[in-house]
Structure 1
Amino acid sequence: MKIKWLGHSCFLLTADNGVRVLTDPFDSSVGYEVPDVAADIVSTSHKHSDHNYTQAVQGEFFHIDKTGKFFHKGIEIIGVATFHDEEGGAQRGKNTIYKFIVDGLHICHCGDLGHILTPEQRQEIGPVDILLIPVGGFYTIGPDQAVEVAKMLQPSVIIPMHFKTEPIQYPIAGVESFLQKIGGGKRVGKQEVEYDKASMASVSNVVVLDYA
C-alpha cells in the first residue's frame, strides 16, 4: 500500500490492487496546490472547505462523510464520532475519525481532532498500524495532545499532518515541536511511502513526508 501526502490533511492511499482512497481534499484557501486526482473512495472528516472540497476529485467516487461502518471495493472503513474542539463541538463542530483497512493494514486518519480521545472512542477505533494525526494546534490538537493520542493508539507508524509549512498561512505550528516532544522522527525527503504488513515491525515510528 502506498501513502502519498498531498498537503494539509489530504492523503492518497493506494491499495496493491489499485483502489484509491482520498482523505480530506482542500480548496485554494489552504495555500497548497489544490489536489487534482481521481479516487474510488473520498472521506471528509467535517464540513470545512479545507477538508471537504470534493469538487477537486476527478471521476465518480464513493463519498463518506458520516460515522458508521462501510465497505467499498474491498476497503473496510470505520467512522468514529469526535469533536473539532475541547468543548464538545461548541466552537468548531463535529469531526469524524476514519480508519481504513487496506491490504491488511489499519490506517487511522484523525481529521481535525480537537481533543484527547475518550476510552470509548479509543475502543471504537480499534487497532492502528499507521496514524495520520494533526500536530499544528490552534484548530486541532497540538504537539502535547498529539503525543498523548499517539500513546493511546500505539501505532507502528505516525505520519504528522495539518502543520505549518511555507505555503500555509494558517496560525498553526510547524512539525518541529511535535518531533521534539515525541522523541524524534525521520524526514524521508519524499511525498510518498510504501508499506505492507510484513514491514510494520521494522519501520520508523515517526515519518515526516514532504509536500511536493
Structure 2
Amino acid sequence: MEISWFGETSIRFRGREGIVAADAYRSVVGPTGRGLTADIVTFSHPDDAPPPTRGRAAPSDSDGRVMRPTSLEGAFLLDGPGEYEVRNVLITGVRSFRDDERGARRGLNTCFIYELDGMHAVHLGDIGHLLTEEQVGEFGSVEVACVPVGSALSPAQAAELVAQVGAKLVVPMPIGNEATSRPAMERFLHEMSVQDPTPVARLTVTISTVPSETTVVLLESRSKG
C-alpha cells in the first residue's frame, strides 16, 4: 500500500485492488486534482471552504449534508456510514462527529476503513472526539491510522485516539494554517514521544513491513504539486 498526503485531510491510498482518495475536495486538490487520480473517493465531512458560485450543485448524503464535488470526475463517491465493496475494495464507514457533542456544534463525520493489500487503513477524517467501545469494535484491527491534528481534538486527545485505534503506523494530518497547525503538531509529536521526524514524500508499506511498535510517519504535502 502506498499512502500520499495532499493537504488537510486529503489522503490517497494506492493498493493492488485500486486507488482510494479520502477527502479530495476541490478546495484542497484544486479543479484539476493536482495529479491525484482515484477509482473511489470518500468524504468524511463537508468541505469547509465557501461553496462555489458556479458549476453543478454539490451532492448531499442521506443526512442532508452538502458535500462539495470532487475534481476526480468518474470516481465512485462514498460519503456516509455503511459497508461497501467497490471495484474490489472493501470499505467500512463508521459514523462519528466533528465535536464532542454528537455533532451539535460542527456536524457529522465518517471514519472510513479501507482494506487494501491485505491490510486495513483507517482515515479518521475530522473526528472531534474519542471513540466509543462500539466504534472501536467496528474498526476492528487496523495497521494504519490517519489522524487529524490541530482541529477539534487537542494533541493529547489525538494521541489517546491513536492508542484506542491500535494502529502500528500513524500518519498525522495537520489541519489549518501553519501558525496553528505547527504548534499542535509539535505537541502531538511530544505526546507520541517522537523527536525530529523527517517528512517523506510517501509511505509504502506491506503486511510484512508493518512495525511491531507504534511508528509516526510525517508525509510531505503534495497540495501544491
Shorter-chain TM range is: 0.7 to 0.9
The number of residue pairs the alignment matches comes to 202
State whether residues 25 and 52 of structure 1, in contact with CA within 8 Å, keep that contact through their aligned partners in structure 2: no
The amino acid that maps onto 2:21 is: L
Q: Structure 1: where are the runs of 5+ without partners?
A: none
Give 1:84 shift. 0.7
Paired with 1:8 and 1:149, the residues of 2 have a C-alpha distance of 18
State whether residues 199 and 217 of structure 2, in contact with CA within 8 Å, keep that contact through their aligned partners in structure 1: no
Determine what percentage of the aligned residue pairs are the same residue: 29
The amino acid that maps onto 2:46 is: K
Give 1:135 shift. 1.4
- The partner residue of 2:71 within 52, 56, 67 is 56
Moved more, 108-117 or 202-211: 202-211
The amino acid that maps onto 2:87 is: K
State whether residues 188 and 210 of structure 1, in contact with CA within 8 Å, keep that contact through their aligned partners in structure 2: no
Give 1:61 shift. 1.2
Paired with 1:118 and 1:203, the residues of 2 have a C-alpha distance of 24
> Are 1:127 and 2:141 counterparts?
yes
Secondary structure, aligned partner of 1:199:
coil
Between 1 and 2, higher relative CO (CA 8 Å, sep ≥ 6) is seen in 2
Using structure 1 for the length normalisation, give the TM-score. 0.86
Paired with 2:148 and 2:199, the residues of 1 have a C-alpha distance of 19
State whether residues 155 and 184 of structure 2, in contact with CA within 8 Å, keep that contact through their aligned partners in structure 1: no
Paired position in structure 2 for 1:11: 11
> Are 1:183 and 2:193 counterparts?
yes
* Residue 54 to residue 39, structure 1, CA distance change in 2 (3 Å): farther
Q: Where in structure 2 are the equivalents of 1:99-138 lying within 5 Å?
A: 99-137=113-151
Give 1:187 shift. 3.2
Secondary structure, aligned partner of 1:101:
strand
* Residue 63 to residue 80, structure 1, CA distance change in 2 (3 Å): same
Q: Where in structure 2 are the equivalents of 1:41-190 lying within 5 Å?
A: 41-49=40-48, 52-57=67-72, 59-137=73-151, 140-164=152-176, 168=177, 171-172=180-181, 173-184=183-194, 187-190=197-200
Using structure 2 for the length normalisation, give the TM-score. 0.82
**Per-residue CA distance 1:143-190 (angstroms, 9 max, x = gap):** 1111111111111100000335xxx37854541110001110673432
Give 1:10 shift. 0.5
State whether residues 3 and 14 of structure 1, in contact with CA within 8 Å, keep that contact through their aligned partners in structure 2: yes
State whether residues 104 and 197 of structure 1, in contact with CA within 8 Å, keep that contact through their aligned partners in structure 2: yes
Give 1:204 shift. 6.4
Paired with 2:81 and 2:179, the residues of 1 have a C-alpha distance of 28
* Residue 117 to residue 176, structure 1, CA distance change in 2 (3 Å): same
The amino acid that maps onto 1:14 is: R
Which structure has the larger Rg?
Answer: 2
Moved more, 38-47 or 186-195: 186-195
